[in-house]
Amino acid sequence: MPDLTTRTRQILAELGAGDPFLVDKAADGAADGALVARSPIDGSTLGRLAAQTPDDVAAAVTRAQAAFEQWRVVPAPVRGHLVRELGELLRENKELLGELVSIEAGKIRSEGLGEVQEMIDICEFAVGLSRQLHGLTIASERPGHRMMEQWHPLGVVGVISAFNFPVAVWSWNAALALVAGDAVVWKPSEKTLLTALGCQALLAEAARRVGAPADIAQVVVGDAAVGEALVDDPRVPLVSATGSTRMGKLVAPRVAARLGRCLLELGGNNAAIVAPSADLDLAVRGIVFAAVGTAGQRCTSLRRVIVHESVHDQLVTRLSKAYGTLSIGSPLDPATLVGPLVDAAATEGFLAAVEQAQADGGRLVTGGGRADGVPGGEYVVPAVVDMPAQTDIVRQETFAPLLYVLTYRDLGEAIALHNEVAQGLSSAIFTLDVREAETFTSAVGSDCGIANVNIGTSGAEIGGAFGGEKETGGGRESGSDAWKAYMRRATNTINYSTELPLAQGVEFG
């Protein structure tokens, strides 16, 4: 097996990405302004890329704008051919791109591959959608008149993405935007640059094959300053930004200041209620995957369990046992279930939160420290902390495998605890009682964008609209009618009579 750097370069070459930005120096550090691509598996440097500047972003938007002007007149079903081709290329390169996701983001192999599968799924969805960008026909109050709605391409869509879904988030946005007739300029996370170059190479090849404009989708790499240049560009009518609530609070006012549109997919603090009637086998499996999968680094990761007092002890004992069997190590090892955290700051955040929870009176049930015997990388032991109350630390999103357990007596109290956080992304209830399940999913239940029954909080399918309320940002991506965010609506009234009646019966002259 070659070292990670060599393997990364092989994969990039096979994906057709070559070394377009790679600065061929192995030295660490970014003193000369270069970006350093690292693997969280062992901290090794995978390559160095020249960071782009705000001027480069402006030039990319100019090229994207020109491509948009050609693309918007291509019929939507023909635009679908581009996304169909991208889906085919992703199918052919699933293993390679999945491996690169594992190397650069630290996901276990199955989750790296799952992320690419999600890209393939959204491409299929978008191809079907390319023939279904329907408007309404609306009854007019005036004789001899017809009203209708049309959905038109919007323009250049700016996509800012987070490290933890380095490729899927781009595809959720790009697949819909491209069939909608838009151009895309993507700023990936500075922690996952190389997967972005791989995706861009596949998209460029798909565009070449179907004769789509070469500049219809572009990547700009850099830190927040590069993101800000995209955010501030008035030629970008929609900024779709995925990342922390902190980032969203910086981005939203800037886009609002120029009256642009934002689609925000921000942090979560997801909870599951475990009711007295719950199937505990199912609940334990659902909880462990949701809390520990991707080393707790999903926006939908389970962070809080709110369990009825009658099943509290039993659940905690079973969770502790299940956590004891988790294999921690390199995500490239097929036996591993828990890979590394993305960087040292993430480990510090995890350790500090575990300490604070105990200072708040929490009892550490299992885990909580660095993982012994795993070389390199940022490996921690997933933790469960039994809390006496929902303290400040529990209300925060700690982006790591840290699960808090809270106890309740009646469902009203459980729902109140559930909703008493600033974030509103994903939620679940484990119950066999139909009244409880329906109450949880009703208007007086969970206040999240996603509310599940008898499954965990993570692992959404692309067919549904994905996103959340409150500090999660309110955006919806992926399935259902999320495509409407990427288009502009025009209301048309057509007079096919010889009269000119005015609406509301107004007489004029």
**Pairwise CA distance, residues 306 & 135, whole Å:** 43
| Among 30, 66, 250, 280, contact with ligand NAD (rule: CB under 6 A) | 250
- Each residue 469-508 as x (binds ligand NAD by CB under 6 A) or -, in order, gives ---x------------------------------------
DSSP 269-284: -EEEEE-TT--HHHHH
DSSP 354-420: HHHHHHTT-EEEE--SBPTT--SSB-B--EEEE-SS--HHHHS---SSEEEEEEESSHHHHHHHHH-
| Structure tokens that stand for 197 in this block | 């170059």
Specify the stretch interacting with ligand NAD by CB under 6 A; choose among 236-244, 454-462, 481-489, 500-508. 236-244
**Pairwise CA distance, residues 402 & 354, whole Å:** 8
Instruction: Rank residues 245 and 431 by Cβ distance to ligand NAD and give the closer one.
Output: 245
**Pairwise CA distance, residues 91 & 397, whole Å:** 34
Active site amino acids: 265
| Among 268, 296, 445, 456, contact with ligand NAD (rule: CB under 6 A) | 268
- Each residue 437-476 as x (binds ligand NAD by CB under 6 A) or -, in order, gives -----------------------------------x----
Instruction: Rank residues 265 and 386 by Cβ distance to ligand NAD and give the closer one.
Output: 265
Any contact of residue 244 with ligand NAD (CB under 6 A)? yes
| Among 47, 243, 377, 382, contact with ligand NAD (rule: CB under 6 A) | 243
| Among 98, 158, 166, 267, contact with ligand NAD (rule: CB under 6 A) | 267
**Pairwise CA distance, residues 196 & 187, whole Å:** 9
**Pairwise CA distance, residues 465 & 293, whole Å:** 22
**Cβ 190 to ligand NAD shortest distance, Å:** 5
**Cβ 303 to ligand NAD shortest distance, Å:** 10
| Among 154, 174, 204, 251, contact with ligand NAD (rule: CB under 6 A) | 251
| Among 104, 182, 232, 265, contact with ligand NAD (rule: CB under 6 A) | 265
| Structure tokens that stand for 412 in this block | 């009203």
Instruction: Rank residues 311 and 342 by Cβ distance to ligand NAD and give the closer one.
Output: 342
Going edge to edge, which strands form the sheet with 22-23? 22-23, 45-50, 34-38
Tracing tokens 């170059």 back to the chain, one arrives at 197
**Cβ 226 to ligand NAD shortest distance, Å:** 7
Any contact of residue 266 with ligand NAD (CB under 6 A)? yes
**Pairwise CA distance, residues 370 & 232, whole Å:** 41
Angle at 63 between CA 59 and CA 69, to 5 degrees: 145
Any contact of residue 49 with ligand NAD (CB under 6 A)? no
**Cβ 243 to ligand NAD shortest distance, Å:** 3
Range 281-340, binding ligand NAD (CB under 6 A)? 299
**Cβ 400 to ligand NAD shortest distance, Å:** 11
Q: Could you give the 3-state DSSP secondary structure of residue 482?
A: helix
Q: How far is CA 49 from the centre of its chain?
A: 24
**Cβ 241 to ligand NAD shortest distance, Å:** 6
**Pairwise CA distance, residues 447 & 466, whole Å:** 14
For residue 488, the cross-strand partners are 152
In the chain, what is the straight-line distance between the N-terminal and C-terminal CA atoms, in Å?
85
Nearest to 296, CA basis, from 367, 374, 223, 241 = 367
H/E element, 145: strand 145-153
Instruction: Rank residues 47 and 243 by Cβ distance to ligand NAD and give the closer one.
Output: 243
Do the Cβ atoms of 260 and 130 come closer than 8 Å?
A: no
- Each residue 132-171 as x (binds ligand NAD by CB under 6 A) or -, in order, gives ----------------------------xxxxxx------
Instruction: Rank residues 297 and 330 by Cβ distance to ligand NAD and give the closer one.
Output: 297
| Among 106, 227, 339, 362, contact with ligand NAD (rule: CB under 6 A) | 227
Range 413-432, binding ligand NAD (CB under 6 A)? 425
**Cβ 54 to ligand NAD shortest distance, Å:** 11
Any contact of residue 118 with ligand NAD (CB under 6 A)? no
Any contact of residue 278 with ligand NAD (CB under 6 A)? no
Length of the chain: 509
| Among 397, 436, 447, 471, contact with ligand NAD (rule: CB under 6 A) | 397
Nearest to 157, CA basis, from 228, 235, 83, 226 = 235
Specify the stretch interacting with ligand NAD by CB under 6 A; choose among 173-181, 247-255, 436-444, 486-494. 247-255
Nearest to 127, CA basis, from 71, 81, 181, 177 = 81
Distances (CA, A) of 45 to 8, 25, 41, 362: 10, 10, 11, 38
**Cβ 273 to ligand NAD shortest distance, Å:** 21
**Cβ 189 to ligand NAD shortest distance, Å:** 4
> Which residues make up the interface to ligand NAD (CB under 6 A)?
160-165, 187, 189-190, 223-224, 227-228, 231, 242-244, 247, 250-251, 265-268, 299, 397, 399, 425, 472
